[in-house]
Structure 1
Amino acid sequence: MSGFVPQFRPEHGAATPWTVLRPGGDLEPGRSPTLDGERLRAAYELMLFSRAFDEKAFSLQRQGRFGTFSPVRGQEASVVGAAFALDPARDWVVPQYRELPALLNQGLPLEQFMLTFLGDPRGGRAPDEVNVLPIQIGLAAQLPQAVGLAWGLARQRRDAVVMVFCGDGATSEGDFHEACNLAGVVRAPVVFLVQNNGWAISTPRARQSAAASLAARAPGYGMAGALVDGNDLLAVHEVASNAVERARSGGGPTLVETLTYRLGDHNTADDATRYRPTDDLAAWEPRDPLDRVHTYLRSRGLWDDPHDAAVRERIAQRIEEAVRTVEAVAPPGVEHVFAHVTETPSPRLQAQLAELQAHGGAR
Structure 2
Amino acid sequence: NKIDVLPNDDLKGCNVSVKIVKQPSHGSLTKEGSVFIYTPSPGFSGVDKFTYKLEYKGEQTPATDVNVSVVTPVEIGDCVEVNYIGRYQVNNTVFDTSYEDVAKAEGLYDSTRSYQPLKIFVDPTGNMTVPSGYEEYSSSMIPGFIKGLIGMSIGENKTIIVPPEEGYGTWEMSIEGVSNESSNESLSFPIDYVENLTENMSKAEFQYFFPNVTLNKSTVFDYGKVVFGKENIINATILNITDENITYRLQIENGTSFELPGYGFNVTFYVINESFYTRHFDFKMNDTFTIYSPYGTRAHFKVMSINATHARMAINIRSPKLGLVDQTLVYELNVTKIIKTSQQS
TM-score (norm 2): 0.19
**Structure with greater proportional strand content:** 2
Work out which structure has the larger RCO, using CA pairs closer than 8 Å and 6 or more positions apart in sequence.
1
Q: Rg bigger for which structure?
A: 2
TM-score (norm 1): 0.19
**Structure with greater proportional helix content:** 1
